[in-house]
Structure 1
Amino acid sequence: MIRLDNISKQNGTRLIFVEASAALQRGEKIGLVGPNGAGKSTLFRMISGQEPPDEGNILIDRGISIGLFSQDVGEMADRSAVAEVIVGAGPVSEVGEELAKLEAALADPDKADQLDAILERYGEVQARFEELGGYALEGKTREVLDGLGFSQEMMDGDVGLLSGGWKMRVALARILLMRPDVMLLDEPSNHLDLESLIWLEQFLAGYDGALMMTSHDREFMNCIINKVIEIDGGNLTSFSGDYEFYARQSALNERHQQAQFERQQATLAKEIAFIERFKARASHAAQVQSRVKKLDKIDRVEPPKRRQAIAFEFRPAPRSGDDVAKLRGVSKRYGSKVIYDGLELLIRRKERCCVLGVNGAGKSTLLKLVTGNTSPDTGTVTLGGSVKMGYFAQHAMDQLDGDATIFATLDAAFPHAGQGSLRTLAGAFGFSGDEVEKRCRQLSGGEKARLVMALMLYDPPNFLVLDEPTNHLDLATKEMLITALSNYEGTMLFVSHDRHFLARLSNRVLELTREGIHDYDGGYTEYVARTGQEAPGLHG
């Protein structure tokens, strides 16, 4: 369907692709992987015709429709969410608009003299609209928006009033409703809660077109893809299988390449030692000459490219009392919506509580109550003795000073720490060398999240409250965070839509329901086994 034939692409002085080739065949579902900045979004823009390659060709079969979802959703306002999705649904939306205009013309007394012509055209357009499934369109649109977590109110409200994250879901719904021959999805799992994520996973698994996507969620990718294309150092390498297969195969290839490289280096060292030893002796001139020629002809094996592994180790947190947080008789409402009524909860030392619940169940509200960022209407929230809290929420990223550099931000937070210590901290969170001089406003979402975590974890709290900490984090950084938190000795309360994160870190599940909290001993994996569902409200 789509062939990338020896494409090269340069961005300023940076080479992104060098004579790279790959293909997307009918029925293939491809996960596009590679380090941040490797060129994943650039590849999507080239395939969708937004920018050409510098050299080489992108060959697309005739008549193939392509839908691209990217993080840049553009302007949305003055329509309902339903109307905004339908407008992006391809030809059927244009036919629908003409039908609406013709209906208005039929009711317009000033156009009575054109009635026969309007009626005739109306009949043709109506037949075409029906043929394209137009009358079922609104129902399908509502079904998709419902799957992505929209309430009826949000579907019919002004799309312009929605937050950036919800507008992303509207843009994603457009592509899903369009059902093109090829979907290109750039981070579709960002901004989704667990229920919407699993709904999208099932939708894409059942989609019969071809798909190419990026995602920082390994479980999500594993459930959908049957092939991986890796972008690395300007090349495209294909692997048949899911993400887990790719990760194993990639590690194996790296070990083989390292072994080959070491064997060749040992051989070269012997040859060079022989040449050095005998080059001054006339009796060995022919042998030396022959070995020099042999060395020149050898194809050199490159050592494997080492991913810069980010590693962060917690300094031991001070010990807290055994009761870390206690909620007694807590009630909370927003307007007429009751979130909690008489909530009782005790969080104990060393517990790692993950909070699950359908949209609007009050997951973030629970975290805000515990951290004191919102007050209960009635009841009390108390923290135990010697509790030192760290709170990660999305709004913390918005509060960074845009004019300050990364280093200045760390220095202002820890004025007594030495320069070396702060540079080590920055390096552990992926900011090495001159990158510490970047201003906060230039940082991507993932970089901001890493900086906020560095600020929070340098002087470690003994109670971590985390609201979607893995949003925007790439796979390598997420893995680093999971490893660091697995060795963390303190207490945790967190919300996450990342099942890998939930399974690795939780040892208690708090499921928020209309009847109150269902409390499960054991982590997320035990919760799934016990309830038969990966998220509340979704039965497996």
Structure 2
Amino acid sequence: MIRLDSISKQNGRQLLFIEASAALQKGEKTGLVGPNGAGKTTLFRMITGQEPPDEGLVIMERGVTIGFFSQDVGEMAGRSAVAEVMDGAGDVSTVAAELRDLEAAMADPARADDLDSLIERFGEVQARFDELGGYALEGRAREVLDGLGFSQEMMDGDVGKLSGGWKMRVALARILLMRPDVMLLDEPSNHLDLESLIWLEQFLAGYEGALLMTSHDREFMNRVVNRIIEIDGGSLTTYAGDYAFYEQQRAMMEKQQQAQFERQQAMLAKEIKFIERFKARASHAAQVQSRVKKLEKIDRVEPPRRRQSVAFDFLPAPRSGDDVVNLRRVHKRYGSRVIYDGFDLLVRRRERCCVLGTNGAGKSTLLKLVAGATEPDDGSVSIGASVKMGYFAQHAMELIDGDHTVFEALEHAFPRAGQGSLRALAGCFGFPGDDVEKRCRVLSGGEKARLVMAQMLYDPPNFLVLDEPTNHLDMATKEMLIDALRDYEGTMLFVSHDRHFLAALSNRVIELTPEGVHHYDGGYGEYVARTGHEAPGLRS
């Protein structure tokens, strides 16, 4: 359906693609991977015609429709979420607009002389609208929005009043309703809760067109894609299989390439040693010359490109008391909406409690109550002896001083720390070398999240309260964080929609449901095995 034929593309001084080729066929669900800045967004823009390649061709079959979801959703206001979604449904929305215009024209006394031709045209357009499934369009739009977590009230309310994250869901719903021949999805898993993420997996499983997507959610990628296209060093390499298979294949290929490189280096060293030893002897002149020519003709094996890997080791956190936080008979409401009515919870030292619940169940409210960011209407929240808390909230990224550089932000947080240790900290969290001189105002969401995380973990607390800590993190940073937290000896209370993160780190599950609170000993994997579902809003 789409072919990239020997494309080259330069962005400033950076060569993104060098005679790179790949293809996308109907029914293939492909994950696009590569380090930050490798050119994933540029590739999407070339396929959609927003940017041409410098050299090479982007070849598309005639009549192919493309739906492109990106993080830049643009302005939305003035109509309902349902209307906004229906407006992006491709041909059917164009036909619906003509139907509305014809209805208005037929009711206009000034157009009475044209009534016969208007009625004839209305019949033609109405038949086409019916053929395209237009009368079922609103129902389908509501079904998609429901799957993405919208209440009926949100569907019918002004889309302009929604937050940025919910507007992104509206933009995603437009593409899903459109069901184009090719879907290009740039981070569709961002801003989705666990229930919506699982619904989207099932939707894409039933989609028959071609899919090309990026995602920082490992589990989501594994369940959706059956091919991987990797951007690395200007080339495009295709792997058959899911993300886990790609990782295995890449590791095996790197191991083989490293072994080939080492064997060749040993051979070259041996030959060079012979040449150096005998080059001054006339008796060996022919042999030396022969070996020099041999070396000149050898195709040199390059060592595998080293992916920048980050690692962070916690300094030992001070020991807390056995009871870390105790909530007793807590009541909390927002207006007429009751969140908690006599809620009890005790978190003990070294427990790693993940909090699950549908939208509005009170997950973030629970973390805010524990962190002291909000007060209960009644009841008590008691923090235990010697507890030193670190709280990661989404709004924490908004509190960063935009005028500071990354290094200045760390220096401001830890004025007594040495420059070397702060630069090492910055490097661990994805700010190597001169990146520490970036102004905070130009940082992406992921970079801001990493900076807040670095500030929180450098002087380690013994109780971490984390609200969606992985939302903006790429896979490499998530893995670094998981590896670091596996060895963390403190206590954790956290909310996340990343199932890999949940399964790797939890040893207790707190499930918030309309029927009450359910507690499960064991981690997220044991919770799924015992309940038969991956999230409270999904029942088997």
TM-score normalised by structure 1 residue count = 0.99
CA offsets 1:414-467 (integer angstroms, 9 cap, x no match): 000011111111111111111100001111111111110000000000110001
SS in 2 for 1:212: strand
Q: Which residue of 1 aligns with 2:352?
A: 352
CA offsets 1:27-85 (integer angstroms, 9 cap, x no match): 11111111111111111111111111111111111111111111111111111111111
Q: Which residue of 1 aligns with 2:413?
A: 413
Q: Which residue of 1 aligns with 2:336?
A: 336
Q: Which residue of 2 aligns with 1:538?
A: 538
Query: CA offset at residue 107 of structure 1?
Result: 2.8
Name the aligned partner's letter for residue 67 of structure 1.
G
Name the aligned partner's letter for residue 287 of structure 2.
Q
Q: Which residue of 2 aligns with 1:170?
A: 170
When the two chains are superposed, the root-mean-square deviation of aligned CA atoms in Å is 0.9
Query: CA offset at residue 122 of structure 1?
Result: 1.5
Task: Supply the distance in 1 between the matched residues of 2:358 and 2:78 (Cα, whole angstroms).
Answer: 29
Query: CA offset at residue 286 of structure 1?
Result: 1.6
Contact 1:144–1:173, Cα closer than 8 Å, also in 2: yes
Name the aligned partner's letter for residue 184 of structure 2.
L
Q: Which residue of 2 aligns with 1:432?
A: 432
Task: Supply the distance in 1 between the matched residues of 2:487 and 2:378 (Cα, whole angstroms).
Answer: 37
Q: Which residue of 1 aligns with 2:161?
A: 161
Q: Which residue of 1 aligns with 2:502?
A: 502
CA offsets 1:336-368 (integer angstroms, 9 cap, x no match): 111111101111111100000111111111111
Name the aligned partner's letter for residue 510 of structure 1.
I
Count of equivalent residues:
540
Task: Supply the distance in 2 between the matched residues of 1:94 and 1:240 (Cα, whole angstroms).
Answer: 38
Task: Supply the distance in 2 between the matched residues of 1:517 and 1:107 (Cα, whole angstroms).
Answer: 57
CA offsets 1:264-317 (integer angstroms, 9 cap, x no match): 000000111111111112222221111111111100000011111100000011
CA offsets 1:145-195 (integer angstroms, 9 cap, x no match): 000000111111111111111111011001000001111111000000000
Q: Which residue of 2 aligns with 1:370?
A: 370
SS in 1 for 2:200: helix
For structure 2, which runs of at least 5 residues remain unmatched after alignment? Answer: none
Runs of 4+ in 1 over 4 A off after TM superposition: none
Q: Which residue of 2 aligns with 1:180?
A: 180
Q: Which residue of 1 aligns with 2:9?
A: 9
Q: Which residue of 1 aligns with 2:472?
A: 472
Name the aligned partner's letter for residue 8 of structure 1.
S
Corresponding position: 1:243 with 2:247: no
- The 5 Å alignment of 1:24-423 reads 24-423=24-423
Name the aligned partner's letter for residue 25 of structure 1.
Q
Contact 1:31–1:212, Cα closer than 8 Å, also in 2: yes
Contact 1:468–1:497, Cα closer than 8 Å, also in 2: yes
SS in 1 for 2:174: helix
Task: Supply the distance in 2 between the matched residues of 1:518 and 1:389 (Cα, whole angstroms).
Answer: 25
Task: Supply the distance in 2 between the matched residues of 1:108 and 1:152 (Cα, whole angstroms).
Answer: 34
Task: Supply the distance in 2 between the matched residues of 1:452 and 1:498 (Cα, whole angstroms).
Answer: 19
SS in 2 for 1:311: coil
Contact 1:486–1:505, Cα closer than 8 Å, also in 2: yes
Q: Which residue of 2 aligns with 1:453?
A: 453
Task: Supply the distance in 1 between the matched residues of 2:269 and 2:292 (Cα, whole angstroms).
Answer: 12
Task: Supply the distance in 2 between the matched residues of 1:167 and 1:285 (Cα, whole angstroms).
Answer: 76
Task: Supply the distance in 2 between the matched residues of 1:19 and 1:113 (Cα, whole angstroms).
Answer: 62
Task: Supply the distance in 1 between the matched residues of 2:385 and 2:347 (Cα, whole angstroms).
Answer: 13
CA offsets 1:85-125 (integer angstroms, 9 cap, x no match): 11111111111112112222333334333322222222121
Task: Supply the distance in 2 between the matched residues of 1:303 and 1:472 (Cα, whole angstroms).
Answer: 32
SS in 1 for 2:139: helix
Task: Supply the distance in 1 between the matched residues of 2:521 and 2:89 (Cα, whole angstroms).
Answer: 46
Contact 1:343–1:516, Cα closer than 8 Å, also in 2: no
Contact 1:195–1:535, Cα closer than 8 Å, also in 2: yes
Task: Supply the distance in 1 between the matched residues of 2:107 and 2:342 (Cα, whole angstroms).
Answer: 56
Task: Supply the distance in 2 between the matched residues of 1:145 and 1:324 (Cα, whole angstroms).
Answer: 40
CA offsets 1:463-517 (integer angstroms, 9 cap, x no match): 1000110111111110000000010000000000000000010011000011221
Task: Supply the distance in 2 between the matched residues of 1:196 and 1:233 (Cα, whole angstroms).
Answer: 35
Stretch moving more, 286-295 or 487-496:
286-295
For structure 1, which runs of at least 5 residues remain unmatched after alignment? Answer: none
Task: Supply the distance in 1 between the matched residues of 2:95 and 2:29 (Cα, whole angstroms).
Answer: 31
CA offsets 1:114-137 (integer angstroms, 9 cap, x no match): 322222222121111111111100
SS in 1 for 2:324: strand
TM-score normalised by structure 2 residue count = 0.99
